[in-house]
Structure 1
Amino acid sequence: MSIYSEIKQEVRELSKLCVENSRIDPELYQKYDVKRGLRDLNGKGVLTGLTNISEIVASKTVDGKSIPCEGKLYYRGYDVEELIRSQPKEEHFGYERIAYLLLFGNLPQEEDFKKFCGLLSFYRTLPTSFVRDIIMKAPSSDMMNTLARSVLTLYSYDETAEDISVENVLRQCMQLIALFPLLSVYGYQAYRHYHDGQSLFIHQPDPALSTAENILRILRPDCQYTALEAKVLDIALILHADHGGGNNSTFTTHVVTSSGTDTYSAIAAALGSLKGPRHGGANIKVVQMFEDIKSHVRDWGDDEEITAYLQKLLHKEAFDRSGLIYGMGHAVYSMSDPRAKTMAAFVEGLSAEKGRTEEYKLYTSVERLAVELIAKERKIYKGVSANVDFYSGFIYSMLDLPMELYTPIFAISRIAGWSAHRIEELIGGGKIIRPAYMAVQPRRPLP
């Protein structure tokens, strides 16, 4: 046996000790009324803070009782669905308007908006040789890790990195909002070049274009895209820009910011949270699940055949055998996820442009049948509906975005919300966030 095999065996044995001595009896959470995952038994989040930035509504009070209702998402008090409906059809700068709203609390006047977009264009330039020296060296197969590394490295290029005044943090945040598309796409291109031998091309962003347009421009070899593609990606960025203060990555931003640390460390921590498959990586699971569906369901128009496959998913007999139908259900929403509803309205048109109408019909059938099946087979405390991840992966695939960039696209959008919440925490927090844990290990005398 080699030394490496011996070491691996020793680590395996030590890991058994970790498992043996780290388990906590689930009944203790009820005994001590501990809100596991900061949620009560009905899945409702425990209030840990206040925010002006965004609000999720999933229930209403009737006769003193809380009952589920159609989901709503508000940015600074504005209904997100209304914000999107009010945009001109040719508008491709919707995400920038929402970023302004989240950061500064009001919808921008045109002159203020031009100045804001001008600042983003100015900041959309990486330090000299950053692509060569940082992004192209030791490229990672995981783009979220690449993005986090780039963010932490930007600290070294910032002469006032530790300054947490609102003015300086705002400047840092606007720079990150501007740079996230470059860091993500360039990181992907470097990896594909070195590991897959693909041609390396680095397109510079166009200062006259929006975030959505620049993503498509710098990603594609010919820099070409359609107006509908840019519009749909812009809508996706708007819908992912923020989601209350309690989602895992935004709460992480609040927690880490409350310690007084620098912006780059706080945002890198949020990226680490978003990377998880229970959070930002969920849409990848949806796409992979649908690939499995397409390979096992012969007739995509046969409800009975689709239902039979979905039953196998729930019974842990298909796909990854997790017992989940990915893209269905949400920690907060029950009757509907407003982000999924809005996305669905744009999916049909894009699928027609891309010649994938039959696949779109399969998605709508799975959504309809899964709701009925889950309600029938699972005892759940609230309703279930498609969440934003159900359609976002399909949209990204129709936009020819590589799967490796699905979660970074989420980050490119959510950096606006993280930035707003970091600034809010710096202005109004005042205390380090430190929840309590109850120790249940009996005390023991030394042997």
Structure 2
Amino acid sequence: MSDSPAPLADPHIVFDPIEGRRDIVVLGSTGSIGTQAIDLVLRNPDRFRVTALSAAGGRVALLAEQAWRLRVRTVAVARESAVPALQEALGARYGAGEPLPEILAGPDAATELAASECHTVLNGITGSIGLAPTLAALTAGRTLALANKESLIVGGPLVKAVAKPGQIIPVDSEHAALFQALAAGTRADVRKLVVTASGGPFRGRTKADLAGVTPKDALAHPTWAMGPVITVNSATLVNKGLEVIEAHLLYDIPFERIEVVVHPQSYVHSMVEFKDGSTLAQATPPDMRGPIALGLGWPERVPDAAPAFDWTKASTWEFFPLDGEAFPSVALARHVGTVGGTAPAVFNAANEECVDAFLAGRLPFNGIMETVTAVVAEAENDGPRTSADGASGRGGAAGTSLTLADVLEAETWARARAREAAAQRSDVRQPSEEQSAEARA
């Protein structure tokens, strides 16, 4: 292990300590990660200052409120059609004579912000659309607080090509936990990484038990409050498969030494087992403000960023092995991660389409992974298409010439095939109007 590449996320590498306030750009500011990050910033005005915000454009009133409270210089929305409503919302929030922030709009607006002058970019965008901003922030030399796991999953070789060792600080609770536990020893001392999973709402159920579950059932996560796509990914354990790939890319640990264990309480966020038999666990009550604070403040810690345990109260912490038959997503993720190239992009894009189909009642719950598996297999059986510069295509192992265009092409193909495959199924149970409305909410 000592001869392996320097990890992308390395707690032993210390950049500049805080000198005054850090300027932060928040991408995905109206989502779950973004809103919690802003709460943290507002509670620590002596440490952090947000200079720019980006969002998709569906919650312009909230975006305008955030911009006003933080007094940012720039606001970006991905949907150009949202600009008039955003201008109106900003005008209603700012007082007469107050200068309004600059507005950027369009699919490249977040990428432009990611390269702007600041200390840290927090990428809280959901989905693989976060890849271009991730690359822009790293290329510009910014510290990247990465909550957008998909950008690393689908563009691993691209990210590794531009990131300096330790430039990425992970914000996922699991990878933030590994980041902290790894600080206790060298990589040569590490035997395995243990990624914990809550088990989602369907822990203990068999594959047959899952056949008839509804979107409402899947969105009832027992410990975390997240967006619908991430919550369904937790129910299928696709999120855990993605995290295994992410851990491999961040820490350069082989897949066979990354284990998943089910921990329903979600207190232990992940563990590192060292070669002497010691296991170090990072534990806090379930709250994303802790990992966010780590991403924004490292190498310094932010006091009272998140709640601590009350050790005067009894509690039980349980651990169970993963049921790979009921939840085949982790094994499939290991496979595509090992294949490399655009295979992870195919896996991720097909899954996003299948989750949308499930939430809309066009695909049964078990059909999500069945369809994703079929799309991945088709990509591999077709043989990797090769671009003119020799990069890998849909599913094959990547060369050093893998490009963003290759990734996007593979994603487009996978999304189309997943939609076609979902439409061809005959075992779909249409949800009631009430169930559909709850899923959309």
Task: Please report the TM-score for the alignment, with normalisation by the length of structure 2.
Answer: 0.25
From the two aligned structures, give the one with the greater helix fraction: 1
Which structure: larger Rg? 1
Task: Please report the TM-score for the alignment, with normalisation by the length of structure 1.
Answer: 0.25
Higher RCO, 1 vs 2 (CA within 8 Å, ≥6 residues apart): 1
